[in-house]
Amino acid sequence: MRTNIKMRGAALVAVALMVSLSCGLIEAKAPVTITFWPSSNPQEIEFAKIIVSRWNKNNPGIQVKMEPLPASRSTEEVLLAAIAAGTTPDVCANIYPGAISQYIVGKGLYPHDELPGFYDFVYERSPKEIVDAFTYKDGHVYQIPWKANPVMLAYNVNLLKENGIDPASLAIYSGFLEAAEKLAKDTDGDGRTDQWLYSPSTDVTWWQRFFDFYTLYIAASGGKTLLDSSGKVAFEDDAAVEVFTFLKTLFDNKLVPKGTLIGDQFLGGRIATTITGPYSIPYYDQNAPDGFEYDFIPVPVPDGHKGPVVTYGDPKNIGIFANSKHPHEAWEFVKFIMSKENDLLWLEITSQPPYRKDIVKDPMFAPYFKNNPMMSKFVVQGAYTRGVDDSKHLIEIFDAISKQYDLSCVNSRKTPKNAVRDAARDARDILAGW
Amino acid sequence: MKEAAVEERQQSCFAKLKREFRSSDKVGYIMVLPYVLHFLIFIAYPLVFAFILVFCKWDIVSPMEFAGLRNIERLMRDTTFWTAVTNTLRFLALHIPLQIVLALLIAVVLNGPIKLRSFFRGAFFLPFVISGAVVTILWQQLYSTDAGVFNLVLTKLGANPVPWLTDPSIAIYSIAVMATWKNIGFYIILFLAGLQNVPRELYEAASIDGADKSTQFWKITLPLLSPITLLVVMLSTIGGFGLFIEPFVMTGGGPAESTLSVVLYLYKNAFQFLRMGYAATIGFALALMIFVVTLVQRKLLDVEQPY
Shared domain for B24 and B76, answered yes or no, is no
**CB contacts, 8 Å: A83 with chain B:** 60-61
In chain B, the largest separation of any two C-alpha atoms, in whole Å, equals: 93
Domain locations in chain A as residue ranges: 31-142+316-354, 152-313+389-432
Confidence (pLDDT) at A188:
83
B190 and B287 co-located in one domain = yes
The residue among A406, A410, A425 with the most chain B CBs within 10 A of its CB, best to mutate, is A406
Element (H, E) at A403: helix A394-405
Express each pLDDT in B242-263 by its tens digit.
999 999 988 888 888 899 999 9
Please say whether the beta carbons of A64 and A36 come within 8 A.
Answer: yes
Q: Which of B59, B155, B165 sits opposite A192 (nearest CB)?
A: B155
Would you state the pLDDT for residue A25? 46
CB contact at 8 A, A408 and A244:
yes
Would you report the helix, strand and coil content of chain B in percent, each value rounded to 5? 75, 0, 25
B163 and B274 together in one domain: yes
The closest CB to that of A259, out of B70, B145, B274, belongs to B145
Q: How far apart are CA A75 and CA A72, in angstroms?
A: 7
CATH code assigned to A31-142+316-354: 3.40.190.10
Which residues of chain B are modeled with pLDDT < 70?
1-3, 6, 303-307
Q: B24: domain range? A: 2-54
Q: How many CB pairs under 8 A join A and B?
A: 100
pLDDT, tens digit only, all 434 positions of chain A: 455 555 565 555 555 555 554 444 444 567 899 999 999 888 899 999 999 999 999 999 999 999 988 876 677 778 888 888 889 999 999 898 888 888 888 889 999 999 999 999 999 999 888 888 888 888 999 999 999 999 999 999 999 999 999 999 999 999 999 999 999 998 888 777 889 999 999 888 888 999 999 999 999 999 999 999 888 999 999 999 999 999 999 999 999 998 767 778 999 999 999 999 998 998 898 899 999 999 999 999 999 999 899 999 989 999 999 999 999 999 999 999 999 999 999 999 998 999 998 888 899 999 999 988 889 899 889 888 888 888 888 889 999 999 999 999 998 999 999 999 999 999 999 998 76
Alpha carbon of B148: minimum distance to chain A alpha carbons (Å): 8
Nearest to B256 among A77, A194, A413 (CB): A413
On the question of a common fold for A31-142+316-354 and A152-313+389-432, the answer reads yes
Strand order, beta sheet including A144-147? A62-66, A32-38, A91-95, A316-320, A144-147
Q: What is the ipTM of this complex?
A: 0.74
A314 to each of A97, A98, A355, B20, how far by Cα in Å? 9, 10, 12, 68
Q: Is residue B66 part of a domain?
A: no
Question: Architecture of domain A152-313+389-432 in CATH?
Answer: 3-Layer(aba) Sandwich (3.40)
* Number of domains composing chain B: 2
**Is B60 within the bounds of a domain?**
no
Structural domain includes residue B307: no
C-alpha distances in Å from residue A36, one per residue of A324, A329, A330, B220, B285 = 11, 12, 9, 68, 42
Distance CA B53, CA B44 (A): 14
Q: Which chain B residues touch A202 with a CB distance below 8 Å?
A: 166, 254-255
Closest-CA residue to A373 (of A306, A278, A240): A278
